[in-house]
Structure formats: C-alpha cells, structure tokens
Structure 1
Amino acid sequence: MSTPSATLTVWAGSWLAGHSAPDDVLDALRTWAPQQSVAAGDPVTGGHTGLPWASDETAETAPGAGIMVLLKLIREALVGPGAQVRLVLPVPGDVRGIPVGTEFAAAATEAGEGLLVGSPGADGAGLVPVWTDDDSLQWRVYATPIPPAAHPDMPLGEAEFTMREAVRDAADALQQLHTTRLDSGGPSPRDLVEDELEAHSRHQYPDSMPLRARRILDIADQVAAILTVAEREPASAPSSATAAAAQESLLRPLWNAIREARLAAVHAR
C-alpha cells in the first residue's frame, strides 16, 4: 500500500461491508506507525467533535485521541444517500475531487493524500495523516463539505493496461536520465528498486479486495519505485532550468498515471 490514507480507505471499506473486523482495520494502520493518534485539524472541528486541536506547532505535544476514534468518526459521517469513503491524492495543480478553499483541501494538498467521508453535496469529514516523527502518525480531522460529484475513476481494465505500459516507460526514463551509475561500485538500479518495494510489501490487502485491483496497486508500486530511484539517484543534477523542465516533463505524466490507477484500484468494489 502506498499511503496511510489508501490503507484506511480499503480497510474501512472492507469493514463497513462486513468483510473485516474493526481490529483488522487498526492492525493494518499500525503497520505504518506504532504510535497513532487523532486530533482536530482546526479549532472549529475541535469544537464540533470534542477532539483536541493540534496545529503543526503543537502536534508533538498534543497526543490526541486513540485511533479507535477514527472508526467512530467514519461511521458517523456515513449518513445520507450515496455516502462513501473516498481516497484523494491531490497535488499542486491538480486538486480534482476535493473541496477547494477549505482547511481540508490545504492540508490534503500539502500531505499529498487524505480521505473524504460522507454524501456528495453534503457536509462530511475529511481525514489527513500527518507524520509528527518517524514513528508517530497523527490523523487530522476536518469538518468539510463533500464535493457534489466525485471525479470518475479510470476503469480497472484501462488502469491495469496503463500501469503495465508505465513499467516500460519508467524503465526507459531511468535509463534516459542516466541514473544507473554503473561504474560507481554502489548498489545496482535493480537493488535500489527492490529496496523501495520492500517497504510496500509489509502492507496487506483485505481478502475482499478484487484481485485485479491488487495487481494494479502492485504494479503501480513497482512503477513508483523506479521513478523514485530515478529522482533520488541521479548521476548529476539538471544543469539548467531547461534540463530540469525536461526531467519534469518526462516523469510527471508517469506520476499522474500512478495516481489515477491507484484511485481506481482503491475504490474498486
């Protein structure tokens, strides 16, 4: 699993459908961090929920509530027609599917992930995970409107095809950017990619998750690992603004494809 938000989305969906127990959801979350808490993301939400408010300045000193509260909050927000739990993976320049101009939107865009819980067009809840240190994760809760219509996900068949094509394109990009450093005596590109993938292998999928959706997420992780190696292990930094722009134009479409495929797979039922 690529993010804590994706883990919570798929496991909460399995729990709500009666396929998993609450402890299964919590165990899946603890794979990310042994210490987790829940806090309001802003004072208004704190007043509505009774949760302690944790700003970025106070996160390390405000312990928040235990993560069992997450399940209660999700259950309470799932009221009204079409209520659902949806993963969001916003990035600057592409914030489709989130309520623009809200505290939740700002927090989710900064984190690059989050969840929306509720009925389209109604008030609901937004959740954003924030790392307070290497072993501690705090879930920030926001009272937020749910956009009236969700951005349609890519069909699973298209998502799987796109990811299989992206494996080749990512490998080509790795070679084109000269990130292999074959003469450095360090780890090979294959070893670096395997190291990136090892972290994802700790996270389990619910048994109820469609097999095709699992394959898509696994392939997306593989593509992301290749791109991460390409970005972290360059032979040299771009020598000019033009070179930097060329590198961005080469990798950005692949990262966008990963995001689209992951959303389709996570929301598959």
Structure 2
Amino acid sequence: MSSPSLTLTVWAGSWLSGHASPDDVIDALHEWAPLHLVGAHDAAAASAADVPEHRVVDGAARLLALVRRIDTTAGAGLQLVLPAPGDVRALPAGTAFAAAALAAGEGVVVGAPGNPGLGLVPTIEGPDVLRWSVFALSTVPENPVDGGLGAAEFAIREAVRDAASALNGIPTVGTDGRRADPRAEIAEEVAALARHRCPASLPPRAIRILDTADQVAAILTVASRGTGMRAGSASGAAGREVALQPLWAAVREARVGAVAAALRAEHNH
C-alpha cells in the first residue's frame, strides 16, 4: 500500500462489500499512524459529515462512520484520487478539496458519481498523527480511469519496460565520484510499502498490479531522491527528470485503475 488514501479506499470498500470487519479497516489505518484525527474544512463539510466545524475528533472509526453516512453502493462510491501537477483528473475543478488533494498528492472521494458526496484528504500532523480533512462535494465526479484490470496491468507493464530502458541509459554515480548501487535502497522502499497489506478479498490480479506499481515507484523514488547519488552530468540529471515524469503518471494510473476495478469486482462477488 502506497498511501493512507489507498489503504482507506480498498479496506473500506472490502468492509462495505461484506469481506472485512470494521476492526480490519481500523487496524490497516493504524499501520500508518496510531492516532487519526478527523476535522471538517468548513460549515458545509461539518453538516454533511456530522463532525465539528472548529475542532477535530479522534479515531479512525469516525472515518468508517463518514463512509457509511454517504450512499456508497457497497463500495462502488469510493474513489481513490492521486493527483499531481498537470494531472488533476477526477478532481472537482476549483474546489477546496481539489487544492488540498493536489497538495497532498492523494485523497478519497466518497459518494456516487453525479450526487453530493465527501472528499477526504490525509496529512501528517505529527510523528504519530494523521489528520483527515473532510470536504463537502456538491457533485461527485466520474472516475476517468475506468479501463478495468487489463488496462491497469498493461499500463504498469509498459512502465516497467520504460523505467528499465530510460534509467539504464543515465549514468549514476555516488557523491564521492564512485558508482553507487541503489538496489539496497530500492529493497528498503519496497519493504516499507509491503508493510501495508491488502485485503485478502481483492482479486489476485489487482494485488499483482499494486505490487508491481510499488516496485516501479521504489525505483523511481530512489532514482529521483539523490541520496548518495547524482546523475553523471547535468544532461543526465535533466534526462532522468524528463524520463521519470511519465513513469510516475503510469504508476498513478495503474494504482487508481486497479483499485477501481478491484472495488467493482468485490461488489459483484
């Protein structure tokens, strides 16, 4: 699992479809932080979500109450969003939720497309605290990534191929001038993501896509981090940056597509 928003989406979807318990969802969320705070962005959100406007409430269980409060049609009304600059699909334009989700790089939309709903955005509040801001949405947008598991798997396979060819052509050396071996750092990134487990009810193909996306993301993270490494030349650094942007987009698309298809499959199972 790559983000708290992805964890909430898949586990809440599994719970709404009858494949997981509320405690399962809460346990999965607590892997991100032992304390979750929930607060309304404004009066409209406070009214829609039944949470205080000017203070936060404690507990991941409140997130489940919010999800249950909105008509989600047993998981079909949960939508993961992973926006980035230049890629704001599925965000309601001009809203406070869109701005917050873009700043965080993630969010969850709760509600059936075309109907009023809620937007949830997590942010780190402290070393052991995750705060979820709740936004009222007048209309839930359609999910633009809806090609099914086949399209998601194709996208991430293409990203694996392109990542290998693009990054292999860029010389990477350590800050001391010696060649660096990033394999240990990549393994650490993958292990950190693997700590956040998927519901057993998710289709095996969806889990495979999410695992592959995590592996590609780990490679891209290490390649762009620059910890102990630098591109061998200015042109190499620029080339690496250009190469990474579409690969990150492919990772986001694969994750969103796999989650959307998995929720549909669970609902119909």
- Shorter chain as denominator, the TM-score bin is 0.7 to 0.9
Structure 1 residues 237 and 87 mapped into 2: Cα distance closer, same or farther (>3 Å)? Answer: farther
Contact 2:167–2:240 under 8 Å retained in 1: no
Contact 1:153–1:260 under 8 Å retained in 2: no
Deviation at 1:168, TM superposition (A): 3.2
Q: Deviations over 1:41-74 (max 9, x none)?
A: 23432355442446xxxxxxx5533221111111
Structure 2 partner of 1:164: 157
Deviation at 1:183, TM superposition (A): 7.4
Rounded Cα–Cα distance in structure 1 between residues aligned with 2:133 and 2:111? 16
Structure 2 partner of 1:141: 134
2:108 aligned with 1:115: yes
Alignment-mate amino acid for residue 87 of structure 2: D
Structure 1 residues 243 and 190 mapped into 2: Cα distance closer, same or farther (>3 Å)? Answer: closer
Structure 2 partner of 1:4: 4
Q: Which runs of 5+ in 1 are unaligned?
A: 55-61
1:235 to 213, 230, 238: 230
Rounded Cα–Cα distance in structure 1 between residues aligned with 2:75 and 2:194? 33
TM-score relative to the length of structure 1: 0.87
Structure 2 partner of 1:57: none
Q: Identity of counterpart residues, as a percentage?
A: 51
Structure 1 residues 189 and 4 mapped into 2: Cα distance closer, same or farther (>3 Å)? Answer: same
TM-score relative to the length of structure 2: 0.87
1:228-267 → structure 2 map (5 Å cutoff): 228-233=221-226, 234-236=229-231, 239=234, 246-267=239-260
Contact 2:49–2:134 under 8 Å retained in 1: no
Contact 1:39–1:65 under 8 Å retained in 2: no
Larger RCO (CA within 8 A; separation ≥ 6): 2
Rounded Cα–Cα distance in structure 1 between residues aligned with 2:15 and 2:34? 21
Structure 1 residues 81 and 160 mapped into 2: Cα distance closer, same or farther (>3 Å)? Answer: closer
Q: Secondary structure at the match of 2:171?
A: coil
Contact 1:2–1:200 under 8 Å retained in 2: yes
Contact 2:97–2:119 under 8 Å retained in 1: yes
Deviation at 1:138, TM superposition (A): 0.8
1:195-234 → structure 2 map (5 Å cutoff): 195-233=188-226, 234=229
Structure 2 partner of 1:173: 166
Rounded Cα–Cα distance in structure 1 between residues aligned with 2:76 and 2:157? 32
- Report the count of equivalent residues: 260
Deviation at 1:158, TM superposition (A): 3.0
Structure 1 residues 121 and 89 mapped into 2: Cα distance closer, same or farther (>3 Å)? Answer: same
Contact 2:209–2:258 under 8 Å retained in 1: yes
Structure 1 partner of 2:79: 86
Structure 1 residues 49 and 165 mapped into 2: Cα distance closer, same or farther (>3 Å)? Answer: closer
Q: Deviations over 1:22-51 (max 9, x none)?
A: 000000000111111111123432355442
Q: Deviations over 1:158-212 (max 9, x none)?
A: 3223323322322333333323539767972111100111111111111110000
Alignment-mate amino acid for residue 192 of structure 2: A
Contact 1:89–1:112 under 8 Å retained in 2: yes
Rounded Cα–Cα distance in structure 2 between residues aligned with 1:30 and 1:45? 24
Structure 2 partner of 1:27: 27
2:36 aligned with 1:36: yes
